[in-house]
Structure 1
Amino acid sequence: MPIIYTDELARFDGIASVEEAELLLEWVQTHPHGAADLAACTHLHAADLQVLMAGAVRIAAWPTDDTLRSWLGCALTPT
């Protein structure tokens, strides 16, 4: 499973594809104070990114991959 959910955290592991977006949206809506752990994420589909952006999800851990971290940091860091 590419995303593992708890009450406080959505932990991304590997590739998060478009198929995960609907469940991620449901989790964000029911856990508005939850955070995302992207440390083990290697790819994030744009649909998942949009859910994280729209929900203003706090990032608990950024990807270890520098390129992905840089790309997501631009999109998910509030200005």
Structure 2
Amino acid sequence: MSVRLADGIIILEGECQVDEAEPLLELLLADPGAAVDWSGCTHLHTSLVQVLLALRPGMAGSPGSEFLRKWILPTLNCG
């Protein structure tokens, strides 16, 4: 799984594919205050971006992908 919960923080790591959108949504709905650490994320399917844009969790770290840092990070207003 590229989306998991560890010590109250939602971790996104590696290539987060479309099938990870629902688990991400469920984790965020279960704990709306949970931060999302995406420092190990190298790819983020647009379905996960949509979940993050809709729920606007606190984002921690900087993603491992230049594309995510350049285009998605500013969109989420976390960098």
Length-normalised TM-score, structure 2: 0.87
How far apart are 1:50 and its partner, in Å?
Answer: 0.7
How do residues 47-58 of structure 1 correspond to structure 2 at under 5 angstroms? 47-58=47-58
The residue that corresponds to 1:8 in the other structure is 8
Give the deviation of 1:52 after TM superposition: 0.8
Unaligned 5+ segments in structure 1 are none
The aligned counterpart of 1:30 is: 30
Identity of aligned residues (%): 36
Counterpart position of 1:74: 74
**How far is 1:60 from its partner?**
1.2
Conservation of the 8 A alpha-carbon contact between 1:16 and 1:44: yes
Q: Report the secondary structure of 1:50's partner residue.
A: helix
Please state how far the C-alpha of 1:6 moved relative to its aligned partner: 3.2
Following superposition, which runs of at least 4 residues in structure 1 exceed 6 angstroms of deviation? none
Distance 1:27 1:74 in 2: 23
- Root-mean-square deviation (Å): 1.5
Paired residues, what number? Answer: 78
The structural deviation recorded for 1:65 is 2.8
Q: Give the whole-Å Cα distance in 2 for the aligned partners of 1:7 and 1:26.
A: 16
Distance 2:13 2:26 in 1: 18
